Amino acid sequence: MARILNRNKQKESVQDKIFDVTLFILLTIILIIVAYPLYFVIIASVSDPSAVAGGHVTLFPVGLNFSGYAEVFKNDKVMRGFVNAIFYTFMGTCINLLVTIPTAYAMSRKDFAGKKFVMYFYMVTMFISGGLIPTYLVVKSMGMLDTMWALVVPGALSVYNMIVARTFFESSLPEELFEAARVDGCDHFKFFFKIALPLSKAIIAIMVLYYGIGHWNNYFSALIYMKTETKFPLQLVLRSILVQNEAALSQQVTSQAAQAALQAQRELVELMKYSLIIVSSVPVMILYPFVQKHFVKGVMIGSVKG
């Protein structure tokens, strides 16, 4: 009896070992598939232009070279787009917070009489929307076309983010806390500013990240609403260079240019694109270690109550 049990155990552990090894190999393959393109952009951005174009860059940078970055920083459009994007992201995120956090706080109060009505009011907008053109026409009639306001005001409140924040408040600011404060003569204003906000640094961080990255990465609103090129945010500039393949070099190619020079120019354009990807991702990359922890937390809070 004992022997049978023992043999069984051994057979299983062999199976489990095979399972463990397979799992390890599988996960490693996934890791490589995800990581390699990211890694490749980094090493290509600091390699020699002709090595990148010739496909000689595989595992390590070839002939350390920063001319791609030099081109990026010499490009007026990119630099202006970068400054614009920082400004829009900052303003947009501030407006988002000013609208979202108070709304979420109010919605988290258990005995607030209008709660149900307001929730329906917001839920409706999650499932049906007027669509592209009617929204565009409303923005236009508000005189917001081609201004920053078109990018930051219409989406000032994301219902999903508001629900995440509300769920956070519900669990971190129990009704008893408010009741206790109220006995001491505290109204909602005082409670919100003196007690709720100081206790909510975590959720404010999550909101800043959710909204901030949304603004930074958004190109659609700018595509629809912005007309003047000098007001374009970075993503729209990136679109013309990376996707539409617009000539992006600081000096123009002249028709008399020798074939070799032309080739070098083309290679430099390719190299510049890799550098551009890195430069445009720097703000997010700096935040990433910090972002990861909080983003994940946000997904968890959101999934508790959808």
Partner 1 sequence: MKRREKNAVPRQKLSFAKVMRRDYPLWLFLLPGLIITFIFSYIPLYGVQIAFRDYMPTLGFSGSPWVGLKYFKQFFDSPYFFTTLRNTLIISVYSLIAGFPIPILLALALNAFKHKHYTKVIQTVTYAPNFISVVVMCGMLTLFLSPSSGVVNKIIELFGGEAVNFMAQKEYWRHIYVWSGIWQTMGWNSIIYFAALANVSPDLHEAAIMDGATKLQVIRHIDLPCIMPTAIVLLILSCGSILSVGFEKVFLLQNPLNKSVSEVISTYVYQVGMINANPSYSSAIGLFNSAINAVMLIFVNKIARKGAGISLY
Residues in 19-78 at the binding interface with partner 1, rule: CB under 8 A: 19-20, 23-24, 26-27, 30-31, 33-35, 37-38, 40-41, 52-55, 57
The tokens of 119 are what?
Answer: 């929730």
* Per rule CB under 8 A, count of chain residues that contact partner 1: 100
Stretch that binds partner 1, among 74-82, 164-172, 246-254, 292-300 (CB under 8 A): 292-300
CB of 206 to partner 1, least distance (A): 14
The tokens of 250 are what?
Answer: 């600081």
Q: Which of 79, 145, 195, 242 binds partner 1 (CB under 8 A)?
A: 242
CB of 189 to partner 1, least distance (A): 5
12 near partner 1, judged by CB under 8 A: yes
Angle at Cα 132 formed by Cα 127 and Cα 137, nearest 5°? 120
**Residue 127 or 256 with smaller CB distance to partner 1:** 127
**Which residues make Cβ contacts (< 8 Å) with residue 255, sequence separation at least 6?**
none
290 near partner 1, judged by CB under 8 A: no
CB of 217 to partner 1, least distance (A): 3
CB of 40 to partner 1, least distance (A): 6
The tokens of 173 are what?
Answer: 């600011």
Q: What φ, ψ does residue 126 adopt, rounded to 5°?
A: -75, -30
Q: Are 237 and 156 in contact (CB under 8 A)?
A: no
4 near partner 1, judged by CB under 8 A: no
Site for partner 1 in 114-133 (CB under 8 A): 114, 116, 118, 121-122, 125, 127-133
Q: Are 193 and 275 in contact (CB under 8 A)?
A: no
CB of 79 to partner 1, least distance (A): 17
Q: Are 213 and 291 in contact (CB under 8 A)?
A: yes
**Which residues make Cβ contacts (< 8 Å) with residue 106, sequence separation at least 6?**
112, 115, 118
